[in-house]
Chain A
Amino acid sequence: MGAFVNPRWLVGSAAVAAFLVVWQIVGANEIIRSDLVSYPTEIAASARELAASGELGANALATLREFAEGFAPAIVVGVLLGLGFALSKIVRNLFEPLFVAMYTAPLIAFVPLLVVWFGVGSTSKSVTTFLAAVVPIAINTTTGVRETQESWIRACRAFGATRAQIVAKAILPGALPVVMAGLRLAVGRAIVGVVAAEMYVSTLGVGRLIQTYSTAGRAAEIFVLVGVVAGFGFVCVGLLRVLENRLAPWRARA
């Protein structure tokens, strides 16, 4: 009984539907100025328009590229640095305080400087993405490596593993679930970073569009764009979860 509809979903959907209806009424009837809050049907129309004109596609693609060009190297560098922090006292003493400071410092404040250094083009956006992502990846990798169990390393050593084999066969796979959690954290920070950098100054990108439409006082378009950004983050995190379940079935279960 009740196997078809989960009551929790039902309540959740009802709440969302009610919210949309109220929003529609308030916005469409100008109970609150619609150029400030917009309303669902107007947003849907704007979304169609943005998509049809190709404006959304071109800008989203530009942002996606900047994101990828920053995030991919952040994975490599973050994991290597994280390994370094965990395994080498020298690396740790050299870089870790800086990283902890970077983790808490507002990266956005550095964007103007990054633009001066790397120009107004896509490079400064990729660098922002990189910096936003590399910190949580490195910190989580360190945590993951520190949490690897002595018994995994002992098993490898007993069978004559070299140092490299211990890293490859015990430490990295053992740290993987925590590294993946770091990637999920990093996605969120990197998206905020790349959009914020585009909003500061750029010629192309979702952040640029948000900036343009907000100067024009267009709430509907801003909602569409924020939705696109949120959707992208949602998809990324979902993909990472799928990947994590595949790669680390023993941990994902717990």
Chain B
Amino acid sequence: MTQLVVQGLRLEYPAARGGAPFLALSDVDLAVEKGEFVTIVGPSGCGKSTMLMLIAALLRPTRGAVSLNGQPVAAPGPDRALVFQDFALLPWRNVLKNVELGLEMQGVAAAKRTDIARKNIDMVGLRAFERHYPHQLSGGMRQRVGIARALSVDPEVLLMDEPFGALDAQIRQVMGSELLHIWERDRKTILFVTHDIDEAIYLADRIVVMSASPGRVVQQIKVDLPRPRGLSIRTSAKFNEYRETLWNLLEEQVRQSGSWARGEGGA
């Protein structure tokens, strides 16, 4: 069943003083199935974050629309939850209170809030750290908090913007496989932006490749790898094929834009 539809989405950022408006996204079309894990790759600055912000309704499209279960999306809401690359935790709140944030916005009663938050803190393996403050946690643990916070509002769609981008390669792989475990349990729809080609393949049912700025969808690749996937799948022949395909597609786009974010091209 198609759950999330992005149709003819276009976004112009207003002009800086004296300049012309900046076209970040032009005519993006995308349909996402319920429970599908979609990863999004594309050259730096092609508008991936912009697209997630539009789906979250933190930005208004210049043209086009986003709809969820057939209903147009007009404002941020608990049916879509964001996980940010920079974690965006509140430093004065401990883990428990950070995870409760989204529930507070919805006016959930305190006792129930704590229950739900605890359940999700458990799920990301931070039970022993619920009284810790963000500055007392490692990067990987902080992002677990970000994920637990997003899961707590029980969203239909999880929007993840390079959630593991700030983590080193090893932690990144571990977090990826943990995320798959969580996803396999309740099969939430996930849109996951990444710069890491391996990560994009490893996680996805489908990979969306975006063009250089202004962003469009240039290709979608179905990933036919068996699940559940272990870390060893990365060395399989099939994985290698996907890697090559994706690499070529991206190289073409990157050559057009002349930049590949933070030198992460070599996956």
Contact = CB atoms under 8 A, between A and B. Distances in A.
Contact of B153 (A154, A159, A253): A159
Contacts of B92: 173-174, 176, 247-250
B106 A154 contact: no
Contacts of A160: 75-78, 102, 105-106
The A interface, classified by DSSP as helix, strand, loop or mixed, is helix
Interface in B104-155: 104-106, 133-135, 153
B90 interface: yes
Query: B89, B104, B133, B153: which has the most chain A beta carbons within 10 Å?
Result: B104
A203 interface: no
Interface string B28-60: 000000000000000000000000000010100
B77 A155 contact: no
A152 B87 CA distance: 10
B182 interface: no
A170 B90 contact: yes
Interface string A163-198: 001000110011010000000000000000000000
Nearest to A158: B82
Contacts of B102: 159-160
B86 A159 contact: no
A151 interface: yes
Return the 4 tightest CB-CB contacts between A and B, nearest first: A159-B102, A155-B88, A151-B88, A250-B91
B101 interface: yes
A169 B89 CA distance: 12
Given A174-B92, A250-B91, A157 B58 contact: yes
Interface of A: 151-152, 154-161, 165, 169-170, 173-174, 176, 247-251, 253
B84 interface: yes
Given A159-B153, A165-B105, A154 B84 contact: yes
6 contacts: A155-B84, A159-B106, A160-B75, A161-B105, A176-B92, A250-B135
B81 interface: yes
A159 B101 contact: yes
Contacts of A250: 91-92, 133-135
Interface string B61-101: 00000000000000111100110101111111000000001
A253 B134 CA distance: 13
A253 B135 contact: yes
A174 B153 CA distance: 23
B86 A151 contact: yes
Nearest to A176: B92
Contacts of A158: 56, 58, 76, 81-82, 84, 88
A57 to B, nearest CB: 40
Query: B76, B81, B92: which has the most chain A beta carbons within 10 Å?
Result: B92
A173 B76 CA distance: 23
Given A156-B101, A165-B104, 9 more contacts: A154-B88, A155-B90, A157-B58, A157-B76, A158-B82, A161-B105, A165-B105, A169-B101, A169-B104
Contacts of B106: 159-160
Contacts of B82: 158
